């Protein structure tokens, strides 16, 4: 299974649906990936940064109390322990190193909740590059602490007032900036989405998660898991965790999307569960659109999953049946978050808590299963939302 193909396709999905002005920049990126990504010098530098600055390998933790409560054997891959608090830093460091190889003078990035913006700002500071982060004006308001973190890390945050004023508009604006200076500027995209070669590049940089987890699990339990569970927004932490297990056909793979308030269009961000095929931001994938093909706004309690599309490789993996996808609602997710915090001493990100709920549901149907959960990030950033939800119920 060697995908994408030469046209950047995962079966019918993926590809590169972009204005002509963007083609030279994408061609240049593609050539840079072919030249550097798997080259020994680049890999040595990447691995060294991951080890000495990001804090890899991240721990694999057995979860004894969740195991007992669920009647399962539960392990957690702890991306919450990575520098800046989530898996996004793996991709940000890798792309910034690539930018330097390509001779770029500045990094630009988009961000929704702010996590990729913070990771990009940190990686750019570390590697001595200026960084501009595009962020929807609505998100700038909602995610003020992350805006301040980016500023302290030396980045310039540009609020985007056009379009939906959230992540989708921020990606559009970053693409526009890139087109105006494709040689001097490198666009660091935050998830396994967008036009080819981004979904491939991000997968390759994030697949360190699954390679580590597979090895760690074999070393500590002597076997492969029955199921691997991860949350899916754009799909980068999920593809990063799943990729090492794709050819282990006895291992089930389960992606969990944001079910929000329910199944209605606009009430969730579950593009695989409820979406239909279409083109979004350069990629043919499953998207949340109305019958006229208008992309619709999404809802999720977790800002990091709140996107109307999904990476094309996930659309393909769903179609082939290799990966199963489900969704968890806002309230199911918050319940799973509270359980993990109280019984394992780990406050996961709300995004990651979707995976915990999916894992618990799997455990109820499959007693005794060994379950590997991708804990994609830590929940400290979510305190303002938790104060309005879970903590209010506890008062
Ligand atoms: C951004 C984010 C996600 C969602 O992004 P993916 O590309 O789907 O992984 C999930 N978890 C955390 C902690 C995040 O910050």
Q: What is the CATH number of the domain that holds 308?
A: 3.40.50.1100
Model pLDDT for residues 231-244, shown as the tens digit of each residue:
999 999 999 999 99
- Residue 7 covered by a domain: no
Are residues 196 and 325 located together in one domain of the fold?
no
* Angstrom distance (rounded) from CA 187 to CA 171: 10
Task: Supply the pLDDT for residue 74.
Answer: 98
Are residues 45 and 143 located together in one domain of the fold?
yes
Contact 73, 369 (CB under 8 A): yes
Residue at a domain's end among 148, 182, 203: 203
Query: The tokens of 200 are what?
Result: 């491939």
Closest atom, ligand 1, to C-alpha of 202: 7
- Residue 317 covered by a domain: yes
- Residue 1 covered by a domain: no
275 lines ligand 1 (CB under 6 A): no
Q: If you measure from the C-alpha of residue 230 to the centroid of ligand 1, how many angstroms do you get, rounded to a whole number?
A: 10
Contact 109, 117 (CB under 8 A): yes
Contact 84, 381 (CB under 8 A): no
Give the list of residues 6+ apart from residue 72 with CB closer than 8 angstroms, or none: 66, 359, 363, 366, 367, 368, 369, 370, 371
Task: Supply the pLDDT for residue 164.
Answer: 85
Task: Supply the pLDDT for residue 395.
Answer: 82
Task: Supply the pLDDT for residue 206.
Answer: 98
DSSP H or E run through 116? helix 115-126
98 lines ligand 1 (CB under 6 A): no
Q: Which of 49, 79, 88, 188 is catalytic?
A: 88
DSSP H or E run through 340? helix 330-344
Residue 115's nearest CA partner among 305, 249, 374 is 305
Are residues 258 and 318 located together in one domain of the fold?
yes
85 lines ligand 1 (CB under 6 A): no
Residue at a domain's end among 159, 180, 203: 203
Are residues 218 and 273 located together in one domain of the fold?
yes
Instruction: Give pLDDT < 50 ranges for the chain.
Output: none
Q: If you measure from the C-alpha of residue 87 to the centroid of ligand 1, how many angstroms do you get, rounded to a whole number?
A: 7
- Residue 10 covered by a domain: no
Q: Which of 49, 110, 257, 326 is catalytic?
A: 110
Provide the β-strand partners of residue 252: 227
The protein residue whose alpha carbon is closest to atom 10 in ligand 1 is 351
Residue 256: domain span: 56-85+207-394
Rounded (10°) angle between helices 88-101 and 40-49: 140
Are residues 119 and 222 located together in one domain of the fold?
no
Task: Supply the pLDDT for residue 143.
Answer: 86
Are residues 137 and 214 located together in one domain of the fold?
no
Task: Supply the pLDDT for residue 1.
Answer: 55
Are residues 33 and 137 located together in one domain of the fold?
yes
Active site residue 151: no
Closest atom, ligand 1, to C-alpha of 192: 7
What are the CA-CA distances from residue 310 to residues 80, 323, 358 (Å)?
22, 14, 18
- Residue 4 covered by a domain: no
- Residue 24 covered by a domain: yes
The domain tally of the chain equals: 2
Active site residue 381: no
377 φψ region: left (φ > 0), alpha (ψ -120 to 50), beta (else): beta
From the CA atom positions of the chain, what is the Rg in Å? Answer: 19
Out of 241, 356, 376, 385, mutate this one to test ligand 1's pocket (max ligand atoms within 8 Å of CB): namely 376
Are residues 178 and 248 located together in one domain of the fold?
no
């Amino acid at each position: 299974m060697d995908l994408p193909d030469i046209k950047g396709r995962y079966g019918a999905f993926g590809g590169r649906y972009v204005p002509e002005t963007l083609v030279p920049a994408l061609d240049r990126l593609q050539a840079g990936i072919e030249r550097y990504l798997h080259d020994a010098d680049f890999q040595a530098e990447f691995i060294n940064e991951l080890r000495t600055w990001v804090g890899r390998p991240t721990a694999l933790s057995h979860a004894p109390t969740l195991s007992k409560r669920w009647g399962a054997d539960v392990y957690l891959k702890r991306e919450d322990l990575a520098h800046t608090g989530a898996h996004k830093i793996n991709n940000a460091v890798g792309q910034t190193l690539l930018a330097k190889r390509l001779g770029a003078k500045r990094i630009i990035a988009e961000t929704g909740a702010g996590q990729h913006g913070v990771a990009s700002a940190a990686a750019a500071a570390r590697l001595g590059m200026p960084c501009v982060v595009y962020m929807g004006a609505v998100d700038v308001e909602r995610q003020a602490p992350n805006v301040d973190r980016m500023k302290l890390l030396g980045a310039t945050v540009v609020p985007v007032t056009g379009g939906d004023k959230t992540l989708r508009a921020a990606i559009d604006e970053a693409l526009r900036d890139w087109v105006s200076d494709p040689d001097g500027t490198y666009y660091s995209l935050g998830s396994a989405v967008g036009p080819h070669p981004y979904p491939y590049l991000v997968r390759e940089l994030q697949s360190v998660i699954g390679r580590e987890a597979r090895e760690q699990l074999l070393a500590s339990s002597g076997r492969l898991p029955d199921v691997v569970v991860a949350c899916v927004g754009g799909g980068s932490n999920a593809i990063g965790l799943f990729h090492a297990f794709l050819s282990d056909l006895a291992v089930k793979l389960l992606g969990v999307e944001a079910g929000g308030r329910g199944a209605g269009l606009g009430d969730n961000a579950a593009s695989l569960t409820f979406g239909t095929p279409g083109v979004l931001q350069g990629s043919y994938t499953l998207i949340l659109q109305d019958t006229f093909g208008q992309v619709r706004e999404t809802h999720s309690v977790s800002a990091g999953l709140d996107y109307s599309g999904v990476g094309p490789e996930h659309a393909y993996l769903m179609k082939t049946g290799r990966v199963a996808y489900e969704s968890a609602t806002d309230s199911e997710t918050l319940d799973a978050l509270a359980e993990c915090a109280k019984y394992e001493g780990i406050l996961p990100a709300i995004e990651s808590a979707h995976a915990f709920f999916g894992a618990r549901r799997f455990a109820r149907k499959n007693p005794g299963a060994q379950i590997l959960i991708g804990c994609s990030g830590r929940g400290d950033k979510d305190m303002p939302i938790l104060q309005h939800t879970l903590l209010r119920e506890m008062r």
